[in-house]
Amino acid sequence: MSIHNQQTKLTIGLFGFGVVGESLYKVLAHTPSLNAQIKKVCIRHPHKKRNAPAELFTTDAALLLNDPEINVIVELIDDPVAAYYIVITALTGGKAVVSANKKLIAENMETLIGLQQQYNVPFLYEAACCASIPVIRNLEEYYDNDLLQGISGIVNGSTNYILTKVTEEKITFATALQQAQAEGFAESNPALDVNGIDAVNKLAILLTHAYGIIVSPSDLIHTGIQNLDENDARFATEKGFDIKLVAKACKQQDGTIAAFVLPQFVAKADQLSTVRNEYNGVVIESSLADKQFFYGKGAGGFPTASAVLSDLSALRYNYRYEYKKLNYQAPASLTTECYLKVCIRFRGILHVPQDRFDSILEWSCNRNHCHVTGILPLSQLTNSDWWKQPGISILLYPDGIFENYEPQRETSDQNLGFVEQLAEAE
């Protein structure tokens, strides 16, 4: 009972046969209906034992890239330089490309969009953002810029696993990180996850599909959980909050977008609070559909292969991202013209840079640290990294973004009192 005649048969050249590559191979074997076939797999180490017929493998990339029968390149390798070469060569050669490489995509978005246009080929990468959660496709399809109020996402499974363990099991960050590594949720070099680099790469990709903004991830305000400690976890628990590392984009009244990756207090009633361990979750708010929440595994072989599979399925009917928000007469732009309610922990009262706060609302200090809750212009986090220094942690409050903030005289007086009172404690 087939009703589709224009289906493209997919002949795949696969780069990489690691966890995701092998998962994809297995899954394709179980989905004959997709009518997709892996013709050749390019690997780096020819002598490694593989769970697939030997004749499938080659170490010669050109064998895949120059094969006219191969119409889709699936790129699932670790090496960013090689990945870039493969993707560019495939696109310029008129082949469709599917990739899960968020770093590659985020850092080269403009080039990659240009190539898709110039060579009229699709480049899909649903797996690059929250793996099994179809967030890119949904942002493309469902939300016009005008209607999209904001996105809040837990987009990195390793850090979420660590934060869950620290807050629920009261273990230290160091122990939790070890556990995450033991369970395979964190890289042996976990810096990219822990410092928020992975999350900000994903945020950059989301911004393109949500608002038509192309931005280098390194230009986005971001930090990870590297400076959080048990004092912060205790502080959150006392306030009744969870701590999550959240990638956020939030539309202001003038249409500009405030965007950043910061650790955040999350209220128990917030959907993001239900995202535990290595799972990911994204809340999308729009004036149309109200609030939507997508939850699923954000990493791992099969969840990532699942997203690659959905891209392959979409290629059969010639789906491509339209990047339609880039074509708007007045495309959205980023802003730092807003204010954050944050809790910042310093080593002691003398380390608090009071002049950076618009006002200080609450503080608590002891010999070892000083938690300051205050209002900070977002611009205070741009082009400076005082707030990322060792010993300093930052946590955004729930609903802690304000377009306007009028500091009150009383509050300023209070600041004065705060410093005078507590300088002695040092």
Provide the mask over 248-267, with x wherever binding to a second copy is found by CB under 8 A and - wherever it is not.
--------------------
- Any idea what DSSP says for residue 136? H
Kindly write down the DSSP assignment for every residue of 13-62, as one continuous string.
Answer: EEE--SHHHHHHHHHHHT-GGG-EEEEEEE-S-TTS--SS-GGGEES-HH
Catalytic residue from among 202, 244, 297, 341: 202
- Subset of 91-150 contacting a second copy (CB under 8 A): 113-114, 116-117, 120, 131-134, 138, 141-142, 144, 146-147
Determine if 4 is a binding residue for a second copy (CB under 8 A). Answer: yes
Integer Cα distance of 205 and 127 in angstroms: 11
**Among 309, 315, 334, 340, interactor with a second copy by CB under 8 A:** 309
* Residue with tokens 């595994």, as numbered in its chain: 297
Only one of the segments 165-173, 184-192, 197-205, 287-295 lies at the binding site for a second copy (rule: CB under 8 A); that segment is: 287-295
- Which of 60, 79, 168, 322 forms a contact with a second copy (CB under 8 A)? 322
- Contact in structure between 381 and 221 (CB atoms under 8 Å): yes
The strand pair at 370-377 and 339-346 is best described as antiparallel
Spell 84-97 as b/e; 16+ CB within 10 A means b: bebbbbbbebebbb
Q: Which two tokens stand for residue 320?
A: 């491509």
**Binding string, residues 158-197; x marks residues near a second copy by CB under 8 A:** ----------------------------------------
Taking every pair of Cα atoms in the chain, the longest distance, rounded to a whole number of angstroms, is 81
Q: Which of 325, 341, 345, 369 binds a second copy (CB under 8 A)?
A: 325
| For a second copy, the closer CB: 322 or 413 | 322
Specify whether 341 is catalytic: no
Give me the half-sphere count of Cα atoms (radius 13 Å) on the Cβ side of residue 174: 0
Q: Which positions are annotated as active-site residues?
A: 202
Interface ranges with a second copy (CB under 8 A): 1-6, 27, 30-31, 33-34, 113-114, 116-117, 120, 131-134, 138, 141-142, 144, 146-147, 271, 274, 286-297, 300, 302-303, 305-307, 309-310, 313-314, 317-320, 322-328
